Amino acid sequence: MKILIVEDEKKTGEYLTKGLTEAGFVVDLADNGLNGYHLAMTGDYDLLILDIMLAGREWLGYCPYAAHRQQRHANPSSYRAGHH
């Protein structure tokens, strides 16, 4: 399973990446919403882990990713991390 993590807190991103990699997942880490969006639209991810506290609610921009994946007959999954 290939996972994209979008997390602007360096330590949190590294912690998630390390744990998921050790569990056998292929993980890419983006440190901001723009880089994450680019990776999401050009990569082939099974799961997105998004920091809900990204500046300016950048995670809302990932909605087109879900539509893009559905057009390819995939079932995208996402999980929003962070405090509300």
Domain ranges of the chain: 2-81
- The two structure tokens encoding residue 23: 């569990």
- The fold of 2-81 is Rossmann fold (3.40.50)
What pTM was computed for the model?
0.72
Among the residue ranges 1-10, 39-48, 52-61, 73-82, the one predicted with the least confidence is 73-82
Determine the pLDDT at residue 82: 60
